[in-house]
A and B are shown apart, each in its own frame.
Chain A
Amino acid sequence: MLLKEQPLERYKASDLASAISMVLTEPVAAKNMTVVELVALGRHPYTNWMGTLTAVDRTAISNALSVLELEELKQKKCYELSDGQLQRVLIARALAQDTMVMLLDEPTTHLDLYHKVKILKLLKSIAHKANKAVLFTSHEIEMTLQLCDKLLVLNGQDSAFGTPQELIAQGQFEKLFPADTVSFDPTSRGFRIEK
């Protein structure tokens, strides 16, 4: 795999940390951390050996908190937050890491429709405003069709990459599931359950 025309293996762990940030599905181990402490951990690649925060770090942290609308929850402990709030905190941490690529593993699982849309819209605005590559995995095909700039459809050997329009025109989504159970409707860009 290449990053800026350099193979990933050639990057030092610390350099990679300032190039790629991640939001994983694994739960945060220390639930007793406050929101601001957790977001501050995103500054790790830039701080000294003790992890002292400089003015630049503090600006990045408060910026990340405001982008994800977390200022009110700043001093809350992680165990007090809902799943949706916690997901926003984790994204804020990745944003504070200030990398050109942000990878997210199923950022919308366990969330209801409203929070799913909210998270995805936030990700879209981060990608456009902060000029970052935001790449995430998802099972929510209908939602990603509406919100993402480009999609990679993983379908065994037959995977396709492109804008939603291109992929729909190619008929990629009809092939995804057995047609007698779910079928794809290109006009409404949605799936229909076959009776």
Chain B
Amino acid sequence: MKSATTYRLLFLWLTIALAASCLLSVSLGSVSIPLKSTLGILLGDVTNESWSYIIWNYRIPKTLTAMLVGSGLALSGLLMQTLFRNPLAGPFVLGISSGASLGAALLIMGSSAFAGITTFGLVNDVSVAIAASMGSFLVLLSVMTVAAKVKDTMALLIIGLMFGSITAAIVSVLSYFSNAEQLQQFVFWSFGSVGNLSWRQLLLLFGIVLLGVLLSVHTVKALNALLLGENYAKSLGVNLKKARYVIILATGLLAGGITAFAGPIAFVGLAVPHLARQLFDTTDHKILVPAVLLYGSILMLLCDTVAQVPNDTSVLPINAITSILGAPVVIWLLVRKRKMIF
């Protein structure tokens, strides 16, 4: 544990880093806009209309989406790691993201597999979001039902992985029977992207993430007690059942909602809580929750900047970038500490 001043200083640094990465993300893109003009447009300059249109309707929504996605996924990872008291837990490992994929796949490609049932339904972004959220909740609830029976958290993680495999298998079957256009739509969704959200969708995503964050903040005391184990938490007066459901609801909203809008984005949820613990050297969720929110935003903005090849029209799939950067980070952490002390 460090002193309150150290924490304040660290938070100040992180905020500065966040501001810098925001600016970096806004100023880089397929059209080259000088930094000076970018700043001018942000401050209300409208001399160059097309540049101003790009900044306000493309780059700022993208930056905001990246921040929401990064912070929300990081927080959901932290919640999962504390709930299962396992350093390997995260939205991906427990099959939540696979559940979202299943929901999206059923909606996009299910029309050919179950001809007539979903064909009349409008396949737009909002319905994909709803389907993906429902898919992630479904998997999360299944994992929880099993969790009530299986006391061993390691077994539970493996069960989560198995749920992931099952959903992946169903997705493969669906892709096999779907036509090229639907397949393409699904594959593009599964690449992950933070750049395709309209202001209206962004607002919806913001609402979902905000709700998830509020639920997590509300349950911060129970999260700290859970660090001792469930029986200790109970003896400290924590309403275990309620705390569990609130944490799961928050995770489902965060991971499900984000995956729905931005596609499955790997490793942010697993890696950021560890990076934040490394930096802040505490287990107190009062510090960790804001820390992972900031850290997740910064990391996601940087990944998005890397994905956005400067001055070129091509954008790399963000999911690949987070994996390429995230997996070595986790390996490095493991090798350095030899074991993941939670």
Contacts and interface: CB of A to CB of B under 8 A. Distances in A.
Contacts of B286: 50-51
Nearest to B341: A32
Contacts of B235: 17, 20-22, 24
B229 A50 contact: no
A100 B307 CA distance: 60
B225 A41 contact: yes
A31 B342 contact: yes
- Residue of A16, A30, A75 with most partner-chain B CB within 10 A: A30
Interface string B220-232: 1100111111011
A95 B160 CA distance: 38
Contacts of A42: 236
Contacts of A44: 221, 224-225, 236-238
A97 interface: yes
A36 interface: yes
A51 B221 contact: yes
B237 A30 contact: no
Interface in A5-48: 13-18, 20-22, 24, 26-34, 36-38, 41-42, 44-45, 47
Contacts of A79: 341
A49 interface: yes
Contacts of B239: 13
B283 A13 contact: no
Given A29-B227, A33-B227, A37-B282, A50 B221 contact: yes
B228 A29 contact: yes
A6 B119 CA distance: 62
- Residue of A21, A28, A41 with most partner-chain B CB within 10 A: A41
Contact of A29 (B218, B220, B229, B277): B229
Nearest to B234: A13
Given A29-B228, A29-B342, A75-B1, A16 B237 contact: yes
Contacts of B228: 28-30, 38, 41
A32 B236 contact: no
Nearest to A42: B236
B192 to A, nearest CB: 31
A32 B237 contact: no
B231 A24 contact: yes
B237 A37 contact: no
B231 A30 contact: no
Contacts of A18: 237
A86 to B, nearest CB: 12
Interface string B79-118: 0000001000000000000000000000000000000000
A187 B229 CA distance: 44
Contact of B236 (A17, A29, A36, A75): A17
Contacts of B341: 31-32, 77, 79
Contacts of A24: 229, 231-232, 235
A15 B237 CA distance: 7
Nearest to A74: B1
B1 A97 contact: no
Given A26-B231, A29-B342, A14 B225 contact: no
- Residue of A31, A33, A42 with most partner-chain B CB within 10 A: A33
Contacts of B1: 34, 36-37, 75
Given A29-B85, A32-B283, A41 B236 contact: yes
Nearest to A77: B341
Interface in B266-298: 277, 282-284, 286
B283 A30 contact: yes
Interface in B211-256: 218, 220-221, 224-229, 231-232, 234-239
B342 A17 contact: no
A3 to B, nearest CB: 14
A128 B130 CA distance: 61
Given A47-B221, A49-B221, A79-B341, A30 B236 contact: no
The 7 A-B residue pairs with the shortest CB-CB distance in the complex, in nearest-first order: A17-B237, A29-B85, A30-B227, A14-B237, A22-B235, A44-B236, A51-B221
16 contacts: A29-B85, A29-B226, A29-B227, A30-B283, A32-B277, A32-B283, A33-B227, A33-B283, A37-B283, A37-B284, A41-B236, A44-B224, A44-B225, A44-B237, A49-B218, A79-B341
Interface of A: 13-18, 20-22, 24, 26-34, 36-38, 41-42, 44-45, 47, 49-51, 75, 77, 79, 97
Interface of B: 1, 85, 218, 220-221, 224-229, 231-232, 234-239, 277, 282-284, 286, 341-342
Given A18-B237, A29-B228, A50-B286, 7 more contacts: A17-B235, A32-B283, A32-B342, A37-B282, A41-B224, A44-B237, A44-B238
